[in-house]
Amino acid sequence: MEFRPEYYAVLEALSTGAKTVDEIAELVDMEPHDVEAVISALMGHGLVERREKGLLFKKEAYTLTERGWEVLYKWRKEVKGRVEKAAELRRAGRVEEAEEVLAPVESVLPLMLTLSLLDMALYAAALGQLAALDEAAELGGDAFDSGDFDVGDDAF
């Protein structure tokens, strides 16, 4: 099965315990109707199954199948590999190649950071953001300084 960012995002959401369309939509920042379409496609590929949740108020809940877990782990490894390769290419000064390597998976990287599946330093290196932070430090500036937050003694 070919990698698609929206499929991967929904599989990751399901792996964290999100079970309903609304839970998944909130986690992956998609509209519920879009999540339903993705889930339908994933069910068609045998990666997700539907179950009923609740005794009185029945709600549809979704879980990964064994094949779904296998595909998720494969894709997760592929995404991490692309991020590592992009970081390596950037360090070698091959920025355009790094961007090409990262392009197919770039939209899922924030989700991976949120779920602690990706190291922030590796993410920054892959996107070329470490260089900007290093330059700011060398110039004596603070990359995160956004104003004077001096608090007087009376604050404590």
Ramachandran area for residue 37 (φ above 0: left; ψ -120 to 50: alpha; else beta):
alpha
Number of independent structural domains in the chain = 2
The least confident of 38-52, 78-92, 113-127 is: 113-127
134 lies in some domain: no
116 lies in some domain: yes
CATH code where residue 31 lies: 1.10.10.10
Say how far apart CA 71 and CA 8 lie, in whole Å: 9
Pair (29, 49) in one structural domain: yes
pLDDT category at 134 given cuts 50, 70, 90 is low
Residue 82 pLDDT > 60, yes or no? yes
Q: Across residues 72-89, what is the average pLDDT?
A: 95
135 lies in some domain: no
In three-state secondary structure terms, 4 is coil
The range of the structural domain enclosing residue 109 comes to 68-128
Encoded tokens for 144 = 């995160």
Pair (17, 46) in one structural domain: yes
Q: How many CB atoms lie within 10 A of CB 126?
A: 27
Say how far apart CA 139 and CA 90 lie, in whole Å: 21
